[in-house]
Amino acid sequence: MASSSSSSCCESSCEALSVALSSVALNSKSAFGKTATAAGGAASPDPSSSAHRDPKPHFPQFLSPTSPSNDHNSHHPTNPLNGSSSNTTSLIWFRNDLRIHDNEALFRANTDSAFLIPIYCFDPRDFGKSASMGVDKTGPYRALFLIECVANLRENLRQRGSDLVLRIGKPEEEVVGMAKGAGASSVYAHQEVSHEEFEMEKTVQESLGKLGVEAKFVWGSTLFHRDDLPFQLEDMPSSYCTFRTKLRNVQVRPVLEAPKELKSLPSLSTLDVGALPTLQDLGLPSLPDGQDGDAAKEPTIHGGETEALRIIISIDALLMNSKDKEVHHDVGTSFGINPAWNVSPWLATGCLSPRRMLHELTEKYSRFVTRKYVSQ
């Protein structure tokens, strides 16, 4: 009886967890000050936007002709790294995917190339004033979190034989210039959906095309892949309940493990990987002073993939110390919505994959429920 009850409770709880994460993880960019991704359910649009006035929002046309994601069946291989490296140099352009686990763009670039140049650009436009409100788009605390995310990504890449080229500048200039200087044949990147990022992608693609360099965009910022949705993006349900119902039988794709080794940078004497910028380099002030002239207040959270995975892994211990009613009566609060377990900043910067989060929490919650019922 205990085993049957445990199994039934575990299945229903994990289903609820998946539903909760399809909201929390996919709308994390909105929570962190970014526009939510299209495949992430019904996000709250800007009241002044046309999408707010029209119940059917208009989504941009994706750059699928140059994207390896264009083949729907290719996303369910036994080994996503199937293929052989040619004697080529490729760029992997990191954006809001500052991780090495579950990163299809990195995996494909590493597989298809003899040499690999990872690059990240601190775009000055992200640190200026907003046109509508005249306030900083990025404050010093958020900028510091981003710098820590990039620093941790560089460390993880170096541990695997690679590095991270850092530039302060517009990606449509820096990425294209790096591709030209290195003689790259392809540039891999994850695709975004918000207007500014999409326009930037079009500019980058056009500029690379003039150089004979192929832009290869893949999809990887949401829990459910856009190609697996049972509706067109233009028909996205306006309510989350409808969205949840339609996706109830949609399977989340497997998590891609982090590569153990990465292709090295080409031997270019002129390739300067660059240094991590300071807040002043980004045009931002130092952290504000505390009250009554105290020293600057240190941030309570720190960026990076390593920190994000540490938090997820530590949840197993938190579960064992949780009261039964706290877990069973409010699964959504227990997994991510509660401020104490809020992982939105790491999801927004891509330090944590939504699929990895679901996988880890489902596994840990299943084990927790089993322990609870077996011990009773």
pLDDT category, 196, cuts 50, 70, 90?
confident
pLDDT at position 13 is 47
pLDDT at position 314, please?
Answer: 77
In the structure, what pLDDT confidence band is assigned to residue 153 with cuts at 50, 70 and 90? Answer: very high
Alpha helices in the chain (DSSP H): 2-24, 28-31, 50-53, 104-112, 140-158, 171-182, 195-210, 240-246, 305-320, 324-328, 331-332, 344-348, 354-374
Higher pLDDT, 68 or 268: 268
pLDDT given at position 185: 95
More confident residue, 61 or 132: 132
pLDDT of residue 22: 45
Q: Which residues contact 153 (CB under 8 A, 6 or more apart)?
A: 94, 98, 99, 100, 120, 164, 304, 305, 351
Q: List CB contacts of 102: < 8 A, sequence separation 6 or more.
A: 220, 255, 256, 257, 258, 353, 355, 356
Angle, nearest 10°, between helix axes 305-320 and 354-374?
A: 20
pLDDT of residue 204: 96
> What is the model's pLDDT at position 75?
36
Secondary structure of 32-86 as H, E, C letters: CCCCCCHHHCCCCCCCCCHHHHCCCCCCCCCCHHHCHHHCHHHHCCCCCCCCCCC
- The pTM is what? 0.74
Residue 318, pLDDT > 90, answer no
* pLDDT tens, position by position, 212-256: 999 999 998 888 998 999 999 889 999 999 998 999 999 999 999
Could you say which DSSP state residue 335 is in?
I
Q: Summarize the confidence of residues 196-219 as an average pLDDT.
A: 94
pLDDT tens readout for residues 155-178: 999 999 999 999 999 999 999 999
Contacts of 305 (CB under 8 A, 6+ apart): 98, 99, 100, 101, 149, 152, 153, 156, 346, 351, 352
pLDDT at 4 over 70: no
pLDDT at 301: 84
Answer yes or no: is pLDDT of 358 > 50: yes
Single-letter residue type at 315: I
Confidence of residue 331 (pLDDT cuts 50, 70, 90): very low
For the chain, give the percent of residues with pLDDT over 90.
Answer: 45
Say what the pLDDT of residue 228 is. Answer: 92
Tell me the percentage of the chain whose pLDDT exceeds 70: 63
Specify the range with the lowest mean pLDDT, choosing from 125-134, 255-264, 271-280: 125-134
Q: Fill in the DSSP letter of residue 96.
A: S
